[in-house]
Amino acid sequence: MKILVTGAAGFIGAALSGKLLERGDEVIGIDNLNDYYDINLKLARLDKLNDLKGFEFIKVDISDAFELRSIFEDHEFDVVVNLAAQAGVRYSIENPQAYIQSNLVGFANILENCRQNKVNNLVFASSSSVYGANKEYPFNEDHPVNHPVSLYAATKKSNELMAHSYASLYGMSVTGLRFFTVYGPWGRPDMAPFLFTSAVLEGRTIDIFNDGNMFRDFTYIDDIVLGTIDTIDNPAVANSEWVAENPAPSSSYCSYRIYNIGNDKPTKLLDFVGAIEKSTGIIADKNFKPMQPGDVVGTSASIDKLSELNGFKPNTNISDGIEKFVSWYRDFYKI
């Protein structure tokens, strides 16, 4: 298949592109290479992809309608996987306009180009952040997600609504993926695994928010990639049992589906820090602080729906995953 992967220099985008190329797909990767975090890490991911047969990279921002249209017109894509977005919950408090431009305007451009160029299989990144103020665990795709606590979460919920309208109006097959705290080698520097590991290895203090009373469904990158490929190979279909009087939010009368991709085994924050301490051999200097605006106490994924699709089952526990990440970090940064 010929697949467009947006955000191809990003953490998930690069890992997914690599796996698709390994199995023989042709991948056109696009990314705007912004400086939200160290661009050298993004370029290093691209260097790995450029060594693989069937990969082509184009630098473009999905919010640039003209340039994006040219790419769609030059290629006949079988599948589009939209992972490009302005990431980060906390940064959305400081710079909301970046999220409007990339996550809303950019995603609208993706939808419209898929429609105009008859790409009928679109997979896009949503986020566990959409569950917002919900306190019913584990999070199920049919839980209401109408109370986001960050603009980032609101844009991802908006993406789901926009995607449904295109599936309904134009017959597109659209699948949204709610990723749960992805980590692993080549991970993002703004995420806790990276921040904590770098601080511990450099002897700096780490901030522990909500006095450590938090938990996350940390999901290893390899498991995320396998789950995403499951949805690429199994495009969304209409739910024949969908009932308008009692509508299930995760599916529809049209070809639209929402899936959680998580580890299904939430980890307490202090246990997560303990895994880093074990892997580095260093006890962290901890600074306990109150909850941050826009954050949530916990995330926990129900993955039953994705498991039913193609037997999805995460294979990496937190201890093994953190050990692999720390090993990569030491090697990449020569520590």
Amino acid in the structure at residue 298: G
Catalytic residues: 152
Q: Which helix (H) or strand (E) holds 161?
A: helix 151-170
Handedness of CA 71, 58, 125, 62 (dihedral sign): negative
Quote the strand ranges of the chain, DSSP E: 2-6, 26-31, 55-59, 79-82, 121-127, 173-179, 182-183, 206-209, 215-216, 219-220, 256-261, 267-268, 286-289
CB 168 within 8 Å of CB 238: no
How far is 252 from 168, CA to CA, in rounded Å?
9
How far is 172 from 158, CA to CA, in rounded Å?
17
CB 284 within 8 Å of CB 273: yes
